[in-house]
Structure 1
Amino acid sequence: EGGYRATVRLLGAPHRPTAVFAFNDMAGVGALSAAEELGLRVPDDLSLVGYDNTYLARLRHLWLTTVDNANHDIGRRAARRLLDRIADPTRPAEVALTAPALEVRGTTASPRSTN
């Protein structure tokens, strides 16, 4: 609902954007609904990207381009480090970064030329 309402306001502005990056995939689904309700074709008129690569993004009728934040890998690694720390409380802390990955699907395209 929040993604829908925010997108309706955003797309009603005088200078409509060519793309929307949603806070998460659920907000992206709301944004997709708003765009379609306003008569915009995604991705022809508006590109749309979500964040977190949930099962929703992979549904064929949505096929949402999204950022995969590797949350399963992060959870697995965090649990491993917790177990290691429990086994050895003197173990030094570690910093481990995980790079996100863009999953390009059907809701993004190059902007149309305005010329």
Structure 2
Amino acid sequence: NYLYFHGMAVQTAEALAEWTHAKIRRELGFGNEEPDNVRDILAQRHRGSRYSFGYPACPNIHDQYKQVELLQTDRIKMYMDESEQLYPEQSTTAFITYHPVSKYYNV
């Protein structure tokens, strides 16, 4: 049961991050550029990219310590421990760019 719960929590955190990113794009007036199918979403045919430390575009997860400090996440009891894990579990951070040519992968 724990593994099912953990998997659901991981997917929910990622879905919420993507939903928030899409909401920000709409609020910035880029809503008319939103893709209407999964293929275009995966091909990133929308404006803006969401980058998180520890993934291929930003592989140095140690840089996340600075991001956590700048965001002052301690105000909401979120922190990174010495093993570079965010707490509470399933927390996520990112930085988002909205330049028209900003892409996660340049393909």
Instruction: State the TM-score, normalized to the length of structure 1.
Output: 0.25
Q: Based on CA coordinates, which of the two structures has the bigger radius of gyration?
A: 1
Which structure carries more relative contact order (alpha carbon 8 Å, separation 6+)?
2
Q: Higher helix proportion, which one? A: 2
